[in-house]
Amino acid sequence: MKFDKKKVTALAMAGMMGFGIATVSLSGVSEAHRHHAQQTFEDGTSNKYSHRMNEEDMTHKQNVRALKYQKRHGQIGEKEYNRQLRQEQERHDKIIEGIKDEYEAHNPHKSK
């Protein structure tokens, strides 16, 4: 069996070019997918509303821990602790409600 080097080389070059063109045409799709996948926040949330709610929950927990610490070490009394805890809970509820309202205003098809 005899092979013509020119034909084999031309066929190999055509195959490489075809593979290169296919790779370039598909890289736009994979780049778009990669960009979309990178739009997650560092805390694992996928949109700004979830991110803000997660941040607010962390802030609330930190504030409650600070109040418990102050009470435990005698820096504030029971009455002051209860007052500040109630204020913190009201602040937290108000902010969470605002985030939820903003989400529903921007995403009417997903509300309720």
User: pLDDT value at position 37?
Assistant: 55
**Could you say which residues of the chain have pLDDT below 70?**
1, 25-39, 110-112
**Is residue 51 located within the same domain as residue 85?**
yes
Sign of CA dihedral 12, 17, 23, 26: negative
CA gap 97, 102 in Å, rounded: 9
User: pLDDT value at position 10?
Assistant: 81
CA gap 112, 108 in Å, rounded: 9
Q: Which two tokens stand for residue 51?
A: 């991110």
**Is residue 62 located within the same domain as residue 104?**
yes
Range of the domain at 29: 1-39
**Is residue 23 located within the same domain as residue 68?**
no
Total of domains in the chain: 2
User: pLDDT value at position 87?
Assistant: 98
**Is residue 50 located within the same domain as residue 88?**
yes
**Residue 24 DSSP label:** H
User: pLDDT value at position 47?
Assistant: 87
**Is residue 64 located within the same domain as residue 25?**
no
**pLDDT digit string, tens, across residues 44-55:** 888 889 999 999
